[in-house]
């Protein structure tokens, strides 16, 4: 299974502290939200990220797969 | 609202460090939601599903505190990443027992998860048990989303499906669980409380702010509520900051205007506003699941831990006490997650050391699982390996193999290879997963690296490895190679090793005893098993108790002591029933041997019932050798019932299974002569004659030869064939074979008109059979009935047994011995008993008197007395009653 690029949007702007939880992903603001972008190695890792979002009480807005490399 | 008394579980001591208790906190009451939960005759299942920080657990905890219901509460908090179903159920049991819901004499009080080859029916037993409850119980499962075991979830599902009437289940989770709730929902059996319900309303928000001692105008409260969207964690974090803020309204304004996530913003604020000591404490202790004063001090290097924690809890912060004594605390999940992230950001290089310090403290304070987890996180593999090797046997005996697997996970490969104990543990893990080849490879590797172990651990490592190898040998039926290895490794007394704890000793004794049984090292076996039994009893390990008792029973059976066998096995079965292990695979040999003993005594129906139970278990048996024995006993049963085709088929199965074992099994050779007996009855004379052309080395073969002769009307040939057995010149595996030979001799002698010799042989047969009431073999030899009927009753010393045999041959079975429900009003005296036994013969009172050296008058007096005691009026009735009470056979123990 090849890794893919993902773009995950959560509500609100994340500070550095919270960003530490998303090692390997790059965060950029988008209006009042934050988009996390990066290579995610497989489905298990993807669900791991989603679980992280859930455990931090963040609101998940969007999950999108970017163009494959 | 009036303060109502709550009913909490008083925690009883349990094996797990975290006491199942609702979090203790005093907070805002939310009557709106309390009403939902309080509904009389409401739905039996409640699901509270909402994201982190929504206030789920808090709601429940405060509701439980203020409700005045009579309901017992069992609170189970699932720890993070729980992969072990057994551990989960053990916690559920502890919580239920602690809640006071289970009466002391109910099987649930002693229900224990079954270790090492146990069944997966624990949940089912629990469900059944809960159906027996006679008072309402509320079972709360908090953090259900952290339960990762499919088995455990299936168990929870079966609870939901069964819905015992007085049980109320409340599930708390961050997301909808993997459970089928639709049916419940449709039937109106599900109460759902979701994020929208949990959102604080304006009024509730006002109350919360006020309760925190903050003065805020209505507009600001509204702003706050809007910004947080009523999210509980947000409101509480805000309240924390507000209580210290000089200008609360400004704080709210800035907060409302920020785009940062609520959690992020408020958390940063809260942290920034704490004193340096508190901040430091919060960050350093965030690595722990739970924290107390001493542990906090260890990590901060100061002495104020207990006070600070207590203050934090009182300040209604997100710190919660987990025990009634309020000495242990944990942070709200969200807070600890954020704290950990902050710690990582600020002082990543200090984190491993914190883990290491925590590991040592937890190890010293009897919390090995958490200690190991922290040691691993702190990269202290040496400590982790040492702790794990001291604790893993206990995990196995608790049935928590999944926890063992989780703890083993992550050890560097080179470390595992170099450490014989770790290798052994990994091998055990593979065994549990049925990865046999890997397991055997690992065991071989462990053998090679054992001498490289540090001397302090070598003894224990040796004992552990030997024990596992013996266990594996049992699985394979491969005795020879492994027994030698094991003895070598153990090098003498199991108990003289320092550092070998009781659990390991007990298991070592048990396994050594069992394997010694197979090689007929009787004294050795008994010694090990008795030691194992005593040890198992003293450390409270029913697995060892039951295992040793079963092995002792089997040994007793093999050494011709069926009464002792029955005693041991019934004790083992009793214990197993008490803890709920009746269908554990280890029970197979127990049921099988008990069935065999009962069948031998002629109690065919009772014996068959036990065989049926053995059949159910053998499907998942760990011991293929036992399957051989079971088929053989089935064959024997069919033989005496004259179902010869079935008997033959079973004996053939037994032979086939025996030949598949790795090492020769003592039953393998035995099957052939038994097959021939069946074939003879089926009329296959030629085939039997052909098979007999080879040497007759054992009694079993001699007897078949004699049977063939009798079939061919060659009485003299028959007598000659069994002569070596009678003379003791050939090996007889079982006394039944000697009895059989004597009976065959009797039949042959009668045919040769040598009545004296016949009578003498029969008498000898009765003599051998009576001590243990052996009946079965008599039922399998054709022509025995006429033979016994011809035996002069007044000249036999074994009248009672003879009568019993004749009865059975006539078709009636002995009544169940121990299952006899009624007892005589008064016990009979020795004399009365002796007279009763003669009543079953056709001797007159005078003749009985002659036998017992009593006058006729005395005999009649005894008869009158015993009739009265047995509540009967005639001799026949007395005999019948005496038989049903098991009084007629002298050697049998009455209950």
Residue B820 pLDDT: 38
Assess A10–B contact: CB distance below 8 Å, yes or no.
Answer: yes
Residue in chain A closest to B265 (alpha carbons) equals A15
Those residues whose C-beta lies under 8 Å from the C-beta of residue B196, and which sit 6 or more positions away, are none
Nearest one of B314, B241, B234, B249 to B271, comparing CA atoms: B241
Residue ranges of alpha helices (H) inside B324-419 are 333-347, 351-364, 368-377, 381-397, 401-408, 413-418
> Considering only the top CATH level, what class is B815-895?
mainly alpha
Residue B2 pLDDT: 25
Residue B341 pLDDT: 92
pLDDT (mean) for B660-683: 80
Q: Which residue has the higher pLDDT, B19 or B806?
A: B806
The domain ranges of chain A are: 4-59
CB contact under 8 A, A55 and B53: no
pLDDT (mean) for B53-70: 82
Provide ipTM, 2 decimals. 0.87
CB contact under 8 A, A18 and B334: no
How far apart are the C-alpha atoms of B373 and B379, rounded to whole Å? Answer: 10
CA-atom Rg of chain A in angstroms = 11
How far apart are the C-alpha atoms of B554 and B513, rounded to whole Å? Answer: 11
Assess A13–B contact: CB distance below 8 Å, yes or no.
Answer: yes
At A37-62, the pLDDT tens digits run 999 988 889 999 999 999 888 999 99
Q: How many CB atoms lie within 10 A of CB B130?
A: 22
Chain A residues with beta carbon closer than 8 angstroms to that of B341: 17-18, 20-21
Residues in B lying within 8 Å of A, measured between beta carbons: 51-53, 174-175, 231, 233, 258-265, 267-268, 333-334, 337-338, 341-342, 344-345
Q: Is A54 helix (H, G, I), strand (E, B) or coil?
A: helix
Q: How far is A24 from chain B (nearest CA, A)?
A: 15
Q: What's the burial of B619, exposed, middle or buried (CB within 10 Å: 0-12/13-18/19+)?
A: exposed
Task: Using the predicted structure, report yes or no on whether residue B13 has a pLDDT greater than 70.
Answer: no
Nearest one of B683, B686, B658 to B672, comparing CA atoms: B658
Which of B175, B233, B345 shows the shortest C-beta gap to A20?
Answer: B345
How far apart are the C-alpha atoms of B274 and B844, rounded to whole Å? Answer: 103
Task: Using the predicted structure, report yes or no on whether residue B10 has a pLDDT greater than 70.
Answer: no
Residue in chain B closest to A23 (alpha carbons) equals B341
Residue B812 pLDDT: 61
**B817 pLDDT tier (thresholds 50, 70, 90):** very low
Residue B504 contacts residue B464 (beta carbons within 8 Å) = yes
CB contact under 8 A, A56 and B334: yes
Give, in order, the Cα–Cα distances in Å from B229 to each of B17, B45, B76, B203.
Answer: 37, 28, 30, 13
Residue B245 contacts residue B255 (beta carbons within 8 Å) = no
Strand order in the sheet with B190-194: B72-77, B137-142, B167-173, B45-49, B190-194
* Torsions phi, psi for B329 (to 5 deg): -135, 160
Task: Using the predicted structure, report yes or no on whether residue A6 has a pLDDT greater than 60.
Answer: yes
In this prediction the pTM is 0.81
Which of A15, A29, A57 shows the shortest C-beta gap to B51?
Answer: A57
Task: Using the predicted structure, report yes or no on whether residue B836 has a pLDDT greater than 50.
Answer: yes
Chain A residues with beta carbon closer than 8 angstroms to that of B342: 17
The encoded tokens of residue B404 equal: 């063992």
Which of B264, B333, B345 shows the shortest C-beta gap to A14?
Answer: B264
At A8-41, the pLDDT tens digits run 999 999 888 888 889 889 999 988 899 999 999 8
Determine which of A18, A23, A36, A48 to mutate to test the interface with B (most B C-beta atoms within 10 Å): A18
**Widest distance between CA atoms in chain A:** 34
At B593-648, the pLDDT tens digits run 999 999 999 899 999 999 999 998 887 665 667 788 899 999 999 998 889 999 99
At B782-795, the pLDDT tens digits run 889 889 988 888 88
Residue B639 contacts residue B780 (beta carbons within 8 Å) = yes
CB contact under 8 A, A13 and B51: no
Q: Is B295 helix (H, G, I), strand (E, B) or coil?
A: helix
Q: How far is B341 from chain A (nearest CA, A)?
A: 6
Whether domain B276-364 has CATH 3.40.50: the reply is no
How far apart are the C-alpha atoms of B242 and B265, rounded to whole Å? Answer: 13
Give, in order, the Cα–Cα distances in Å from B876 to each of B719, B802, B806, B841, B852.
Answer: 39, 17, 16, 10, 20
Residue indicated by tokens 């209950």: B895
- CA A12 to chain centroid: 13
How far apart are the C-alpha atoms of B91 and B98, rounded to whole Å? Answer: 10
Chain B residues with beta carbon closer than 8 angstroms to that of A56: 52, 263, 334, 337-338
How far apart are the C-alpha atoms of B501 and B433, rounded to whole Å? Answer: 26
Average pLDDT over chain A, rounded to an integer? 88
Whether domain B31-198 has CATH 3.30.70.1230: the reply is no
Assess A23–B contact: CB distance below 8 Å, yes or no.
Answer: no
Asked if B276-364 and B815-895 have one fold, the answer is: yes
How far apart are the C-alpha atoms of B284 and B251, rounded to whole Å? Answer: 28
Those residues whose C-beta lies under 8 Å from the C-beta of residue B830, and which sit 6 or more positions away, are none
CB contact under 8 A, B264 and A15: yes
pLDDT (mean) for B530-539: 94
Which of A17, A54, A56 shows the shortest C-beta gap to B345?
Answer: A17
The domain ranges of chain B are: 31-198, 202-273, 276-364, 380-471+480-496+504-515+526-532, 541-622, 623-691, 694-805, 815-895
Average pLDDT over chain B, rounded to an integer? 85
Nearest one of A47, A52, A53, A51 to A33, comparing CA atoms: A53
Percent of chain B beyond pLDDT 70? 89
CB contact under 8 A, A55 and B174: yes
Residue B865 contacts residue B839 (beta carbons within 8 Å) = no
How far apart are the C-alpha atoms of B636 and B647, rounded to whole Å? Answer: 7
Assess A67–B contact: CB distance below 8 Å, yes or no.
Answer: no
CB contact under 8 A, B263 and A20: no
CB contact under 8 A, A17 and B338: yes
Task: Give the count of Cβ contacts less than 8 A between chain A and B.
Answer: 63
CB contact under 8 A, A16 and B345: yes
At B156-213, the pLDDT tens digits run 999 999 888 889 999 999 999 999 999 888 888 899 999 999 999 999 999 888 888 8
CA-atom Rg of chain B in angstroms = 36
Q: How far is B411 from chain A (nearest CA, A)?
A: 21
How far apart are the C-alpha atoms of B195 and B192, rounded to whole Å? Answer: 10
Task: Using the predicted structure, report yes or no on whether residue B809 has a pLDDT greater than 90.
Answer: no
Residues paired with A28 in a beta bridge:
A35
CB contact under 8 A, B338 and A58: no
How far apart are the C-alpha atoms of A58 and A48, rounded to whole Å? Answer: 14
Lowest mean pLDDT among B309-318, B420-429, B672-681, B882-891: B882-891
Chain B residues with beta carbon closer than 8 angstroms to that of A27: none
CB contact under 8 A, A13 and B344: no
Determine which of A55, A58, A59, A61 to mutate to test the interface with B (most B C-beta atoms within 10 Å): A55
Task: Using the predicted structure, report yes or no on whether residue B539 has a pLDDT greater than 50.
Answer: yes
Those residues whose C-beta lies under 8 Å from the C-beta of residue B860, and which sit 6 or more positions away, are B845
pLDDT (mean) for B803-831: 66
How far apart are the C-alpha atoms of B389 and B799, rounded to whole Å? Answer: 62
């Amino acid at each position: 299974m090849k890794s893919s690029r993902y773009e995950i949007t959560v509500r609100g702007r994340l500070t550095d502290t919270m960003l530490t939880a998303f090692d390997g992903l790059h965060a950029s603001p988008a209006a009042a939200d934050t988009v996390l972008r990066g290579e995610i190695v497989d489905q298990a890792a993807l669900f791991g990220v989603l679980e992280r979002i859930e455990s931090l009480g963040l609101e998940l807005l969007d999950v999108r797969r970017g163009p494959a490399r | 609202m009036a303060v109502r008394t709550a009913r909490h579980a008083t925690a009883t001591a349990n094996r797990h460090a975290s006491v199942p208790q609702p979090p203790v906190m005093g907070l805002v009451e939310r009557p709106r939601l309390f009403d939902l939960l309080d509904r009389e005759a409401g739905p039996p299942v409640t699901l509270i599903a909402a994201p982190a920080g929504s206030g789920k657990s808090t709601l429940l905890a405060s509701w439980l505190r203020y409700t005045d219901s009579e309901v017992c509460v069992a609170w189970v908090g699932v720890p993070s990443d729980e992969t072990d179903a057994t551990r989960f159920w053990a916690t559920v049991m502890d919580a239920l027992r602690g809640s006071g819901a289970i009466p002391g004499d109910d099987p649930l009080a002693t229900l224990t998860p079954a270790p090492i080859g146990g069944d997966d029916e624990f949940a089912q037993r629990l469900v059944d048990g809960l159906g027996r409850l006679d008072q309402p119980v509320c079972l709360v499962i908090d953090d259900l989303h952290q339960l990762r075991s499919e088995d455990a979830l299936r168990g929870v599902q079966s609870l939901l499906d069964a819905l015992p009437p007085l049980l109320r289940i409340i599930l708390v989770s961050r997301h909808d669980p993997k459970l089928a709730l639709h049916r419940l929902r449709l039937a109106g059996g599900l109460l759902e409380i979701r994020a929208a319900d949990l959102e604080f309303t304006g009024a509730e928000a006002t109350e919360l702010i006020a309760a925190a001692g903050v003065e805020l105008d209505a507009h600001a409260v509204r702003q706050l509520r809007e910004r947080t969207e009523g999210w509980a964690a947000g409101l509480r974090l805000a309240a924390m900051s507000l209580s210290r803020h000089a200008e609360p309204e400004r704080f709210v304004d800035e907060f409302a205007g920020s785009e940062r996530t609520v959690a992020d913003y408020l958390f940063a604020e809260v942290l920034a506003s704490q004193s340096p000591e508190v901040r430091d404490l919060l960050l350093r202790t965030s690595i722990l699941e739970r924290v107390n004063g001493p542990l906090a001090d260890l990590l901060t290097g100061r002495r104020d831990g207990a006070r600070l924690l207590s203050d934090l809890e009182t300040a209604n912060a997100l710190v919660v006490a987990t025990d009634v004594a309020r000495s242990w605390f944990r942070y709200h999940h969200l807070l600890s997650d954020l704290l950990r992230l902050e710690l990582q950001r600020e002082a990543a290089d200090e984190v491993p050391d914190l883990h290491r310090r925590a590991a040592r403290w937890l190890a010293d304070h009897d919390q090995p699982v958490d200690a190991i987890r922290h040691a691993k996180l702190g990269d202290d593999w040496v400590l982790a390996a040492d702790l794990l090797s001291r604790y893993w046997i206990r995990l196995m005996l608790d049935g928590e193999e999944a926890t063992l697997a989780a703890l083993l996970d992550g050890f560097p490969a080179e470390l595992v290879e170099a450490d014989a104990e770790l290798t052994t543990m990994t091998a055990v893990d593979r065994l549990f997963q049925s990865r046999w080849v890997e397991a055997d490879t690992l065991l071989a590797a462990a053998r090679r690296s054992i001498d490289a172990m540090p001397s302090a651990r070598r003894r224990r490592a040796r004992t552990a490895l030997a024990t596992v190898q013996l266990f594996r040998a049992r699985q394979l039926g491969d005795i020879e190679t492994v027994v030698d290895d094991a003895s070598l490794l153990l090098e003498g007394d199991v108990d003289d090793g320092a550092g070998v704890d009781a659990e390991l000793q007990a298991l070592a004794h048990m396994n050594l005893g069992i394997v010694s049984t197979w090689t007929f090292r009787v004294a050795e076996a008994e010694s090990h098993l008795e030691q194992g039994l005593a040890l198992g009893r003293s450390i409270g390990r029913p697995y060892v108790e039951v295992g040793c008792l079963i092995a002792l029973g089997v040994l007793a059976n093999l050494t011709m002591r069926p009464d002792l066998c029955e005693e041991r096995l019934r004790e083992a079965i009793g214990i197993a029933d008490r803890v709920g292990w009746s269908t554990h695979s280890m029970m197979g040999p127990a049921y099988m041997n008990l069935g065999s003993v009962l069948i031998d005594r002629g109690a065919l129906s009772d014996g068959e019932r036990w065989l049926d139970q053995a059949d159910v278990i053998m499907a998942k048996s760990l011991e293929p050798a036992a399957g051989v024995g079971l088929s053989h006993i089935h064959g024997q049963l069919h033989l005496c019932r004259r179902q010869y085709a079935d008997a033959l088929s079973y004996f053939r199965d037994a032979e086939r299974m025996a030949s598949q074992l790795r090492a020769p099994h003592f039953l393998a050779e035995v099957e052939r002569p038994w097959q021939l007996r069946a074939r003879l009855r089926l009329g296959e004379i030629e085939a039997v004659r052909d098979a007999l052309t080879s040497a007759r080395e054992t009694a079993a073969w001699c007897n078949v030869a004699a049977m063939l002769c009798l079939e061919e009307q060659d009485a003299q040939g028959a007598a000659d064939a069994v002569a070596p057995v009678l003379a003791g010149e050939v090996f007889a595996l079982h006394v039944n074979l000697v009895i059989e030979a004597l009976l065959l001799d009797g039949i042959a002698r009668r045919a040769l008109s040598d009545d004296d010799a016949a009578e003498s042989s029969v008498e000898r047969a009765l003599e051998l059979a009576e001590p243990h009431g052996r009946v079965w073999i008599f039922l399998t030899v054709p022509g025995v009935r006429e033979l016994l009927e011809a035996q002069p009753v007044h000249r036999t010393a074994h009248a009672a047994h003879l009568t019993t045999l004749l009865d059975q041959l006539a078709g009636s079975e002995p009544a169940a011995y121990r299952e006899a429900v009624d007892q005589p009003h008064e016990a009979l005296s020795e004399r009365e008993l002796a007279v009763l036994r003669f009543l079953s013969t056709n001797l007159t009172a005078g003749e009985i008197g002659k036998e017992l050296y009593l006058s006729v008058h005395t005999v009649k007096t005894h008869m009158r007395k015993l009739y009265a005691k047995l509540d009967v009026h005639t001799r026949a009735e007395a005999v019948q009653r005496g038989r049903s009470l098991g009084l007629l056979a002298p050697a049998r123990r009455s209950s």
